[in-house]
Amino acid sequence: MTAEVQSEPAIPETVRDDFPALAQKINGHPLVYFDNAATTQKPRAVLEAVAKYYEHDNANVHRGIHELSNRATAAYEDARDRVARFLNTPAREDIIFTRGTTEAINLVAATWGAANLSEGDIILLTEMEHHSNLVPWQLLAQRTGARLEFIPVTGDDGLLDLTDLEARLGRAKLLSLAHISNALGTINPVADLCARARAAGVTTCIDAAQSAGHLPLDVQTLGCDFLALSGHKLCGPTGIGVLYARRELQDAMPPYQGGGEMIAKVALETSEYHPPPHKFEAGTPNIAGAVGMSAALDYLDELGRENICVHDTDLANYARDQLESFEGIRIFGPEEERGGLVSFVLKDVHALDLATMADQQGVAIRIGHHCTQPLHDRLGVPATARASFYFYNTRAEVGRFIEVLQNVVQLLR
């Protein structure tokens, strides 16, 4: 007889102890936090790094010759090195700090877009984009006369319909799309799409808001020209994010905003700018945010991004399997190649009632269009319920969520 070998979980449950916010009760019940696609909780290592920065090193960057300013500058620039390692960029200068994914994409649209697109040029997006990867391009199209085209979504299985891709790429100047859909969980084949876009001479921009903290990411393997991410979705603070921009493109891009930090020399009528990336970082940056995000990246790499991916996928598959037993459920997104979230609607159960009653029992999920209104229009639903997981969530929590859902369904039907 052979003894059954229990494999080690990819992420030990003890990681929960690192997250003070997870240890609380909500409405008398232990918190089950399943709103990680909106923002993640923060480990002590991040909270302490931010506190330490303010307690010991706080000053403005790149300006002073005093000790604290030197320390603040070093901390901020070290964070740039850390992000460059995290994404394996060819150079540290490829990293531009922004407020988040939204600002990063707006930066690309306002600078690269304004310099490179004109009347009739085509910006290729997909039907599953977050409003952050849609509205900036709409604004650019209105200003320049460029046009938007969309790669369709197949249906409830949430895949991209790539049948006409070569023809679409043949017309386009830019392809911008999400790596992982925040509404469907679809993991798009971005490396392949970037290679095909490059072959067609199309510039690429990847919205990595939902992927950067969930799977290994290497911009050189992906082969993209731009990539955007948010610190708060990978255990870092809010108000800090990153735009990776390929160096050759940065050189030809005009500044984003004007002000201090980005200038080399200013006269009354004209200015000379610093070289990238400082050219794109006007004003006092979010120094503490960069420090906190850097600590978050250390934390994630310590856990191992492959392990995080295995854990998240396991929870999403487990939740999906359990949800399938509900009568009248419609689950969105692919069965394979999906990230750590599940979106669904339940017949005769209003999403708002569902989320409110779940909250009463300590379970935090999100309902609505998740900033993907055109996708929801395409699927013919005004709102979905979304449970989104991270490495500190457990199968037991999924079990609790299912139990709560059963109670809600019983009460409402």
Ligand X SMILES: Cc1ncc(COP(=O)(O)O)c(C=O)c1O
Q: Which residues bind ligand X (CB under 6 A)?
A: 37-38, 100-102, 130, 132-133, 178, 182, 207, 209-210, 230
205 in active site? no
For 277, the token pair is 């990336």
* Residue type at position 30: P
Task: Please name the helix (run of DSSP H) or strand (run of DSSP E) that holds residue 386, with its range, or none.
Answer: strand 384-388
* Partner residues linked to 25 by β-bridges: 30
Q: How far is the CB of 73 from ligand X (least distance, A)?
A: 26
Residues 120 and 110: their CA atoms lie apart, in Å, by 17
Give the number of other Cβ atoms within 10 Å of residue 122's Cβ. 20
Looking at beta carbons only, is 89 or 230 nearer to ligand X? 230
Q: Does residue 240 contact residue 289 with C-beta atoms inside 8 Å?
A: yes
Residues 75 and 268: their CA atoms lie apart, in Å, by 33
Q: How far is the CB of 130 from ligand X (least distance, A)?
A: 4
Q: How far is the CB of 210 from ligand X (least distance, A)?
A: 5
Looking at beta carbons only, is 322 or 393 nearer to ligand X? 393
DSSP reduced 3-state for 179: coil
Q: What is the CA radius of gyration of the chain?
A: 22
Q: How far is the CB of 262 from ligand X (least distance, A)?
A: 21
Residues 360 and 28: their CA atoms lie apart, in Å, by 9
Distances, alpha carbon 277 to alpha carbons 101, 244, 261, in Å: 16, 10, 11
Looking at beta carbons only, is 73 or 133 nearer to ligand X? 133
Looking at beta carbons only, is 227 or 291 nearer to ligand X? 227
Looking at beta carbons only, is 101 or 250 nearer to ligand X? 101
**b (16+ CB within 10 A) / e for 339-360:** bbbbbbbbeebebeebbebbee
Q: Does residue 244 contact residue 89 with C-beta atoms inside 8 Å?
A: yes
HSE toward the beta carbon, residue 411, CA cutoff 13 A = 12
Looking at 205, 224, 309, 371, which residue is catalytic? 371
Residues 345 and 324: their CA atoms lie apart, in Å, by 11
Q: How far is the CB of 383 from ligand X (least distance, A)?
A: 16
Q: How far is the CB of 305 from ligand X (least distance, A)?
A: 18
199 Cβ contact list (under 8 Å, min separation 6): none
Looking at beta carbons only, is 64 or 152 nearer to ligand X? 152
| Residues belonging to the active site | 371
